[in-house]
Structure 1
Amino acid sequence: MTDHRGTRNAEQPLPERVTGWGDRFVGPDEDPRGDGGFDGERATLVGYLRNQRLTLELKCAGLDAEALARRAVPPSNMSLLGLVRHLAGVEQYWFREALAGRPEPRHYRAGENPDADFDDAVADPEAVADAWRTWRAEVDFAERFVAAAPDLAVTGQHDGEPIALREVLVHLIEEYARHNGHADLLRERIDGRIGQ
């Protein structure tokens, strides 16, 4: 049983740990991620970032709005839905604003609350659909930006300082990897699913 914010009530038993295949989240025939072997710096950075994005999608797959909005470790406001919303804003900032120079109001930032991406992640199917639409639109923009860049030295601005596309790609890989670690724990707490 969960409350209106998706927080699991203490009396509900924890799920048993399960894997999809071996020690993996899904079997190799179902895994859309590559396993390396990229050729060159751009392909390597783009490939590893794509794999991290796909990992986020895998960790959220098959869950309803209630499960996606569930906060697993009180008092944390973190949920899988909150991670999708947060990463949509991360993509938006780094690719639209910092690199493309097109500042726009940040997704899921409500007034003075910089944590609205997590705080306002509610168990509503339309909120889930909106988060995925927004995230996918930002990923699409980022992929098109990277594909059109003549090289990885293309520079934008972050906090008044120049920043190169290659550094942004490395940062995004790090950002996703960190949050996918959170997603591992969140998903395990929801239904026991574990694996890479």
Structure 2
Amino acid sequence: MQPDDERTLLGTFLDGYRVSFPRTLDGLDADEVRRRLVPSRTTLLGLLRHLTYVEAFWFQHAVTGAPLTALGVASTPDRSFVLRRGDTAQTLVAAHARVVEASRAGVAGRSLDDVVTGRGAPVSLRFVHLQVLKEYAHHSGHADILREQLLAAR
């Protein structure tokens, strides 16, 4: 496999976000990671919970057909931002890591041209990779801004 082939590049960029996003919580206390700084449900911890949902939805539900309830994630994207009482940075980082490993396993050996069901319509595994990559890129920007605001408020 060439280091610049499409599958390697998609995996490399996606893994970069998978590793860096949880680090936005580093050095923040339990209140800070839950603090709402905008009118929406967006918090740093909520963003991590949402990206865990995104991973499970696209790489497990869409690829393997596993029901969301069996995957232990929210039933809708909007609900995926809602924090539970026991959610902490440690529990959600661990849950995210588990889902990422399951995501990798779910697509191992599959072609980017394989067709799966995404939101009721057939899509390629390439589309799934790009969709998840887009979500990470989008929400990483939000996380950077929230973290900057939290640190400035100290």
Q: How does 1:9-88 map to 2 (within 5 A)?
A: 38-73=3-38, 75-88=39-52
Compute the displacement of 1:129 (Å): 2.7
* Alpha-carbon distance in 2 for matches of 1:161, 1:117: 22
Q: TM-score, normalised by structure 1?
A: 0.68
Identity rate, percent = 35
Q: TM-score, normalised by structure 2?
A: 0.85
* Alpha-carbon distance in 2 for matches of 1:95, 1:178: 18
Q: Which residue of 2 aligns with 1:144?
A: 105
Compute the displacement of 1:141 (Å): 0.7
**Does residue 1:153 correspond to 2:118, yes or no?**
no
Compute the displacement of 1:121 (Å): 5.4
Alpha carbons of 1:121 and 1:190: their partners in 2 closer, same or farther (altered >3 Å)? farther
Paired residue total:
150
* Alpha-carbon distance in 1 for matches of 2:80, 2:50: 5
CA offsets 1:96-120 (integer angstroms, 9 cap, x no match): 110111123164538xx86343232
CA offsets 1:105-143 (integer angstroms, 9 cap, x no match): 164538xx8634323256x6x533322222111101111
Q: What runs of 5+ residues in structure 1 fail to find an aligned partner?
A: 1-36
Alpha carbons of 1:127 and 1:59: their partners in 2 closer, same or farther (altered >3 Å)? closer
Q: What runs of 5+ residues in structure 2 fail to find an aligned partner?
A: none
* Alpha-carbon distance in 1 for matches of 2:77, 2:119: 17
Which of the numbers 176, 179, 185 marks the counterpart of 2:136?
A: 176
**Does residue 1:166 correspond to 2:136, yes or no?**
no
- Tell me the SS of whatever aligns to 1:162: strand
- Tell me the SS of whatever aligns to 2:42: coil
The list of structure 1 runs, each at least 4 consecutive aligned residues, that deviate by more than 4 angstroms after superposition, is none
| Larger gyration radius, structure 1 or structure 2 | 1
CA RMSD of aligned residues (A): 2.3
Identify the range of structure 1 (85-94 vs 100-109) with the bigger mean alpha-carbon deviation: 100-109
